[in-house]
Structure 1
Amino acid sequence: MKRRAGNPFPGVTRVVDRHGKARWRFRMKGVPGTYLQGEYGSVEFRRAYDAAVAGTTALVAPSRHQYGTFDWLIEHYRRSPKWKKLRPISQLNLGKEFDRFSTLHGKKRVAALRTDHVEAIIGKKADTPAAANRLLKLLRRLCRFAIRKKLIVVDPTIDVERYQENPDGFHTWTEAEILQFEEYHGVSSKAVLALRLILNTGAARQDVIRLGWQSTGEGRIAYRRLKTGGDVDLPILDELAEVLRPLPTNRLLFVTHTGDRAYKPTTFGNWFHDQCVDAGLPHCSSHGLRKAGATRLADAGATELEIMAYLGHRTPDEARTYTKKANRKRLGDTGMEKVARAKREQGLSNRVERLDIHRRKVLKEKGN
C-alpha cells in the first residue's frame, strides 16, 4: 500500500468560511493561532507560516480583500498597533482619508505603484496644494507600512516633491475682522458666543463643542484637547464672561444645535463658516481664531511656553512661529524708530549749523 505523504506544513488545516471561501488556518501548541495569507505553498504562504511557527503573529480574522491591494493594506493598517495608538479623533479623520482613497484606488496593487503614478494622483489636486500634500502624506504612510508588510522594497513616494502652499495656512483673523463679525451678529448671538469661546480658550472645533459650565470653576475654564491630549486651563477674561453670564447655569454645552443638540466637529465648522460668510468674511474660519488668539498673546509679549499652554500643544514648536512674528514686528518698530530719531537729530543739527552761519554773518557785518 502506498503511504500517505506527510503534511509539509504541520499545524495547518483547510477551513471554509461563511462565504464558502477556503482559508488556511494555523494552530500549534504553545504559539498563537492565525490565518495564513496567500496561496497554499506560495512564497507569501511560506513566509506567513514561518512567522506563525515563530510565534510572531496572533489569530486574526481572514482578510476581506485580495492580498497586495491597497484595500488589503488599509485593512491591515487599521489592525496595526500604530492605528490603535492614535486618538479617536485622529482615527476618525485618517479613516475618512483612507475611505476616499480606497474608493478610487483600493483594488490596485501596491507593488505596481511608481513615482510617476504618485505624481499623477496628487497632481489631480494641484489647484488645492494643501489637499495635494495631505494626499501625498497619506500615500507615504501607506508605502512605509507596505515596506513593513514586505509588499514593496522601495518607497515610490520618496522622490515626490510637496506642492508649495501658503506658509501661514489658515487666515489669521485681524482685530478689525473680529470687530466686524461681532457688530454684524451682535454680542448676544450664538455666533459671537462661539467666537469668544474659541478666541479666549484656544479651543479647536472638536473641543469648543464640548465646553459647558462643567468646564468652569473659580473664574477659570479648563478642558483637555482631543487632538493632542494637552490640558488647557485659563482664566475667564471679561469679554468671555460677558457672553457666558446670560447662559442658564445648568447648561452642559455652551454652543448647541437647535433643540440643544450637540454639534459634531464638521457640522460646527460648516455652521461657523456660514456665520463668517454672512458677516462678509468668507476667508475666515474657526481655526483662524485660534491663530488670532495666539497672535494676541505674542504681540502682548507672551513667551513660547505661555502660548503653548493657550494652544494646548505638548511642545513649543508651533508657539515659536507666533513669537518670531511678534519679535520681527517689535524689531521692525524699534529699527524704524532709530531711523526716525536719527533724522530728527540730523534735522536739529542742520538747524544749529544754519544758525551758526547766520550768527557769523551778522557779527562780520557789525565788525565792518
Structure 2
Amino acid sequence: MPNASGAAAIAGRVPFALMERKHVLEIRDEIRSTAGAQNEVVKVISAMFGWAVDAGVAAVNPALRIKRLYSGDGFHSWTVDEFEAYKAKHASGTKARLALYLAMFTGLRREDLSIVGKQHVKAGWLTIRPGKTEKKTGVIVELPILPILQAEIDAGAAGAMTFLESEWKRPFTVNTLGNKMRDWCDQAGLTECSLHGLRKLGASIAAENGATDEELMAIYGWVTKAQSTHYTKKARRKLIAGRAAHKLLFTPEQKMDEVVPPDQAVEESGAKTEEKPNKISA
C-alpha cells in the first residue's frame, strides 16, 4: 500500500484555504489503494472541511460531491442454503443457533447483538437504539419478537444479562462476538459468512416477500431509502423477470415463420413430383 509521504507533500504545498477538488483526489489516490479505503479518505476530509466552513475558517468544502468509488457489495450475503447448512451444524438450544436467529430475525448489527437482552423486550416487542446511529439520528428500532426467535430464546442458551454470553457467563464484546461467529461459521464450512451477512439476507428475503422501503427502514433503523431501495429494486427485478421469463419462448405464430427444408415441406404437403424415365442412349 502506498505510504503517506507523497500525500503529505501534496497537502504541505497547498494552504488548506486553497485546497481544491483535484487536491482531495490526489490525496485520496496516494494514501490508499482500495476503493473502500479511498472513499473513507474523502469522507474524513469532507467532515473536516465541513467543520471548518461552519466555524468560518474555510469558505468552501472541496470534498463535497466527489463521487464514491464502487467498492463492491461489501460483506457476503448469506444464501438460504448457507442458512440451512449452519442450522444443520448447530442444533437448537446452542449459543450458535441463538446467534443465528437473533441476527436474522432482528436485523441488529454486531455491536447491538452483543448487548441486547431481556431488558430490551417488553410485551413481546424488542426496543433498542442502534449504536451506529445513536449520535447521528437517534432512531429507535421497535419490532416484535417473532415466534421462531422466541422459541430459540426459550430453548436454554440465552444468558441472564444479555441473550448472547461467553463461556464465562459474561456478555461478548463486539470483537469477541465476531470471532466466535467466525468459529461457528467455519465449523459449518461457511468460510465467507459473517453476522453482517445475515442482516443482508434478512433484508433480501423481506424485500422478496413484498416489504416496502418504509417497512425495511423501520426494521433495520435506516432513516433514508438509500439502503432499502437496493433490496426492493433487486426484489422487484427478480419478480418482474419471473413473470416475464416465459416470453422468451416461441409462440405458435413465431413457429409458423420458421424456414422449412424443401424435402420436409414436400413430405408434409403429400404432393408428389412426376418421375421422368431415364433416357437410354442407343
Farther-moved stretch of structure 1 (261-270 vs 329-338): 261-270
Aligned ranges for residues 1-368 of structure 1 at < 5 Å? 112=15, 114=19, 118-123=24-29, 126-157=32-63, 162-166=68-72, 168-228=73-133, 229-238=139-148, 240-247=149-156, 251-340=160-249, 343=250, 345=252
Q: Could you list the runs of 5+ residues in structure 2 that have no partner in the other structure?
A: 134-138, 258-265, 272-282
Deviation of residue 345 (structure 1)? 4.5
Deviation of residue 331 (structure 1)? 0.5
Contact 2:125 2:142 in 1 (8 A): no
Residue in 2 that maps onto 1:22? none
Q: Distance in 1 between matches of 2:182 and 2:172?
A: 14
| Structure of higher CA gyration radius | 1
Closer, same or farther in 2 for the Cα pair 1:346/1:254, shift >3 Å?
A: farther
Deviation of residue 206 (structure 1)? 1.8
Q: Distance in 2 between matches of 1:308 and 1:148?
A: 30
One-letter code aligned to 2:241: G
Deviation of residue 328 (structure 1)? 0.3
One-letter code aligned to 2:37: A
Percent same amino acid at aligned positions?
29
Q: Distance in 2 between matches of 1:118 and 1:347?
A: 58
Deviation of residue 172 (structure 1)? 1.5
Contact 2:159 2:165 in 1 (8 A): no
One-letter code aligned to 2:143: D
Q: Distance in 1 between matches of 2:169 and 2:161?
A: 10
Q: Distance in 2 between matches of 1:296 and 1:202?
A: 12
With structure 1 as the length reference, what TM-score do the two structures score? 0.57
Contact 2:110 2:196 in 1 (8 A): yes
Contact 2:158 2:164 in 1 (8 A): no
Deviation of residue 186 (structure 1)? 3.4
One-letter code aligned to 1:230: I
- Paired residues in the alignment total 251
Deviation of residue 202 (structure 1)? 0.9
SS in 2 for 1:207: helix
Taking only aligned residues, the RMSD between alpha carbons, in angstroms, comes to: 3.7
Closer, same or farther in 2 for the Cα pair 1:277/1:135, shift >3 Å?
A: farther
SS in 2 for 1:181: helix
Q: Distance in 1 between matches of 2:229 and 2:130?
A: 20
Q: Distance in 1 between matches of 2:30 and 2:194?
A: 25
Closer, same or farther in 2 for the Cα pair 1:156/1:310, shift >3 Å?
A: closer
SS in 1 for 2:155: coil
One-letter code aligned to 2:70: Q
CA deviations on 1:225-257 (whole Å, 9 max, x unpaired) are 23332222124132x234212227872311122
Closer, same or farther in 2 for the Cα pair 1:162/1:327, shift >3 Å?
A: closer
More strand by share: 1
One-letter code aligned to 2:85: Q
Q: Could you list the runs of 5+ residues in structure 1 that have no partner in the other structure?
A: 1-100, 351-356, 363-368
Farther-moved stretch of structure 1 (195-204 vs 149-158): 149-158
Runs of 4+ in structure 1 off by over 6 angstroms are: 108-111, 347-350, 357-360
Closer, same or farther in 2 for the Cα pair 1:218/1:149, shift >3 Å?
A: closer
Contact 2:118 2:162 in 1 (8 A): yes
CA deviations on 1:287-314 (whole Å, 9 max, x unpaired) are 2211111111111112222222221223
CA deviations on 1:78-111 (whole Å, 9 max, x unpaired) are xxxxxxxxxxxxxxxxxxxxxxx9xx97xx8796
Closer, same or farther in 2 for the Cα pair 1:222/1:247, shift >3 Å?
A: farther
CA deviations on 1:241-288 (whole Å, 9 max, x unpaired) are 342122278723111223122223233234323433443333322122
Q: Distance in 1 between matches of 2:95 and 2:111?
A: 17
Closer, same or farther in 2 for the Cα pair 1:192/1:157, shift >3 Å?
A: same
One-letter code aligned to 1:265: V
Contact 2:93 2:157 in 1 (8 A): no
Closer, same or farther in 2 for the Cα pair 1:280/1:132, shift >3 Å?
A: farther
Q: Distance in 2 between matches of 1:338 and 1:247?
A: 52
Q: Distance in 1 between matches of 2:13 and 2:100?
A: 45
Closer, same or farther in 2 for the Cα pair 1:346/1:315, shift >3 Å?
A: same
SS in 2 for 1:262: coil
SS in 1 for 2:238: helix
One-letter code aligned to 1:257: S
